[in-house]
Amino acid sequence: MSKAIVTGGLGFLGFELCLAMLEEGFEVLAADTDSEAGERWLEVGRNANISYQHLHQPVPAEFSNARFYINLYDHFTGNNPSQDLKEIKEFAEKNHTCVEEAFILLPSVISKRVKEDEFTEVVGFIEEFKFPKQYTVYLPTLFGPHQPESFLFQQILSKSESGGSEYVDDIRSAIFVKDAVSAVIEVEKESDSKKLQIVADNPDSWKESLHSLGCSDASKDPEVRDVLPPGLKKIVAKASSSVNEVLGRQRDN
C-alpha cells in the first residue's frame, strides 16, 4: 500500500488532504503540534489506514519512501502564523532523507504581520533538501466547513457582519477546499513543472462567493502580501459543488 505523510494534519487543508489520501487508497500518517488528534478525528472513524502523531515523534520506518505533504498553507493562513514554524522545520529536516516525493503547500498571499524573510527562509530551507521529486504548490483562498476565522467568509458567517477588521484571503480566487485537494493530488500527473499555482475554474470565484454571503464588496482590503513567484504553471481546480451549496455547509458546520 502506498503511504503519505501530512504535516499540519489537523489543519483546515491538512485534514482534508488526509481524508482524500485515504480515499485514494493510501496509508496516511498525520503529524501536527497538538498532543492529541482531537474531536474532529472522529470523522475518520476506525480506519486502520490513518494514524496521528506529534511532530516531535520520529516517523515509523514503514513510512520510508512515502509521499511527503509539507503543509505550510495552514501555518501561514492561521491566526498565529509565527508559532510552530520551528517544529515544522525540524520535522522536515529529520525525515527528508526517507522521502522520494515531496509537495510543499503554500498560500499565494500572507499576512503583513508575517515577516517577509520568515516566509522566504522556510520555503528556501525546505526546497534545499532537493527531494528526488519535489513540487512547490501555491493555493489561493480555500473555503468550506471548518474554514478558520482568519478568513473573511468565516468571519461573516460566524459574526453575521460584513466582515472582520483583518483577513488573509487572496481576493483573486476562491476554491472549495476539497476541490483544491483533488487538484493537489493530481499535480504529478498533470504537469512536469515543479512550481505550480492552483486556481479556480471561475476567475470571479472570490467575489461571487462574497456576494453569495450577502456582501456586495469587502468593507476593507486584506492586509496581505503577494508571495507568488513569476512563471508558475497554473492548474485549474474544477468545482464539484456550487458556491451556495458549499457555503451552506460551511454555515451549518
What are the DSSP calls for 87-151, one per residue? HHHHHHHHHGGG-SEEEEEEESEEETTS-HHHHHHHHHHHHTT--SEEEEEEE-EEESTT--TTS
pLDDT at 139: 98
Average pLDDT over residues 40-65: 89
pLDDT at 162: 46
Q: Residue 164 pLDDT more than 60?
A: no
For residues 143 and 153, what is the distance between their CA atoms, to the nearest angstrom?
A: 8
Query: By mean pLDDT, which of 157-166, 181-190, 196-205 is the weakest?
Result: 157-166
Q: Where are the domains of the chain?
A: 3-252
Nine cell digits for residue 50: 490513518
How distant, in Å, are the alpha carbons of 65, 106, 138, 168 from that of 171?
A: 37, 16, 14, 9
Q: Residue 227 pLDDT more than 60?
A: yes
| pLDDT > 70 fraction of the chain, expressed in percent and rounded | 95
| pLDDT > 90 fraction of the chain, expressed in percent and rounded | 70
Q: Residue 112 pLDDT more than 70?
A: yes
Q: In the CATH hierarchy, which top-level class contains the domain 3-252?
A: alpha beta
At 35, is the pLDDT very low, low, confident or very high (cuts 50, 70, 90)? confident
Average pLDDT over residues 193-212: 93
Average pLDDT over residues 212-230: 88
pTM of whole model > 0.85? yes
Place of cell 496509508: 27
pLDDT at 190: 67
At 100, is the pLDDT very low, low, confident or very high (cuts 50, 70, 90)? confident
Torsion over CA: 68, 4, 136, 132 (sign) = positive
Place of cell 476593507: 220
Question: φ and ψ at 79, to 5 degrees?
Answer: -75, -20
